[in-house]
Amino acid sequence: MVNALMGLGGLLFLLVILNGVVVNGERVKLFVFGDSTVDCGTNNYINTSMENQANYFPYGDNGFFGHPTGRFSDGRVAPDFIAELANLPLIPPYLQKKVDHSNGANFASGGAGVLKGTNEGLVVDLETQVAQFMDLVERYKIKLGHFEAKQMVSNAVYYVSIGSNDYLVGYLPDSEAQQLYTGDEFRDFVIGNLSAQIQILYNCGARKFLLSSVADLGCLPGIRALTNGTCLESATFLSVSHNTALEKLLTNLTSILLDFKYIVFDLFEFLTVRTENPQKYGFIEALEACCGTGPFRGLDTCGGKNGVAEYHLCPDSAVHMWFDAYHCTESVHRQVGQTLWEGTDNVVKPLPLKVFFDDEALHVYLEQPGKEMIAQTIGCSSQ
């Protein structure tokens, strides 16, 4: 009898997975914040430079979409694969008009930083992305009613991947910034602002956060092209410092915010092991980008960027880790999505992403009684 019940339970679980993950009668939504690592076309809808867009050939070159979409990839990016695994449709940009945002929205903007001054005027910074989310929540309240909107926001998953541009654009090439701040001081500035935005989302009702670390910024093709193929030690150090501080931040937030749940993804280590042993993970080329010019095709000229009309494009982007000077191929993004979902690799802590889309499994993984709630959770406000 017990075995029969277990079998029935397994069948019911399978039916839930096949029909989309449902909590309280609603599919779990996905909201995405960040930069070009997760942008699915936001910058198509703002006034920005060509360097901060990817809505032209050869972006989208692998043919999945049939045309460039604004994703900084030869095809899909990690949120697309996560949506697929969660049996959700592709999550559209928030700024795209006349689309269905009932399953979530992507606010990420290529070139964006945690700090408002990073590529200011050319991108949608994190603070503005969060403000856009707050506006969307108000629309949900009007459409669904306050109670249903509150439930939906609480059950949703919040994917945040940002920080690289603050260091690559806002600090490392800026001698004035380096005179004003030590590396540790600038990192604290970035992490402090990131913490503030996470807590605003929390105040709006968000509870399930997926945070990505930054990659090894010193070893990107765009950096190797400028350093005779070696990694830039100062950029690598900042990456490690940021990632360490990010984990500490999440641990601290867990200790003070009631029912705050997080997953941290170690993108640095995820990419490093593939760079060191590409064949093990299905890649032939781990250092040279598919699209660009110069050493490692690391000069940022893909598609005619930076006024350079001629550039080189590899014959098969699927076997490259890097599509252009700073962005990974769809092959890498697919592995990111699968790794996050299954959570069996030590780069995903403390639990697999699929648990965030299954409320019953989540309660088994995380029991958090007795915490003092610090943040205000009534109202969705940055104040």
DSSP element (H, E) containing 348: strand 348-349
Q: Is the pLDDT of residue 366 over 80?
A: no
pLDDT above 90: residue 166: yes
Do 359 and 155 contact (CB within 8 A), yes or no? yes
Structure tokens at 322: 């890097």
Residues classed as catalytic: 36, 324, 327
Q: Where are the domains of the chain?
A: 27-217+232-268+344-365
Q: What is the mean pLDDT of residues 78-90?
A: 98
Q: What is the dihedral of CA 107, 108, 110, 112, to 10 degrees?
A: 100
Average pLDDT score over residue span 279-295: 98
What is the average pLDDT across 327-345? 98
The H-assigned helical ranges of the chain are: 2-18, 78-85, 126-144, 146-155, 164-168, 175-180, 183-203, 221-224, 233-256, 267-276, 330-342, 353-356, 359-365
- Residues 328 and 212: their CA atoms lie apart, in Å, by 15
Among 342, 345, 344, 319, smallest CA distance to 330 is for 319
In this prediction, residues 97-124 reach a mean pLDDT of 97
Residue with tokens 């993950």: 21
Interacting residues of 134 by C-beta distance below 8 A, sequence separation 6+: 200, 204, 380, 381, 382
pLDDT digits (tens, 9 = 90+) for 129-140: 999 999 999 999
Contacts of 24 (CB under 8 A, 6+ apart): 151, 155
Decide if pLDDT at 1 tops 70.
no
Q: Are 289 and 298 in contact (CB under 8 A)?
A: yes
Q: What are phi and psi of 161, to 5 degrees?
A: -135, 100
SS3 of 268, please?
Answer: helix
d(CA 157, CA 373): 20
Among 165, 210, 207, CA closest to 336: 210
Please tell us whether the domain made up of 27-217+232-268+344-365 is placed in CATH 3.30.70: no
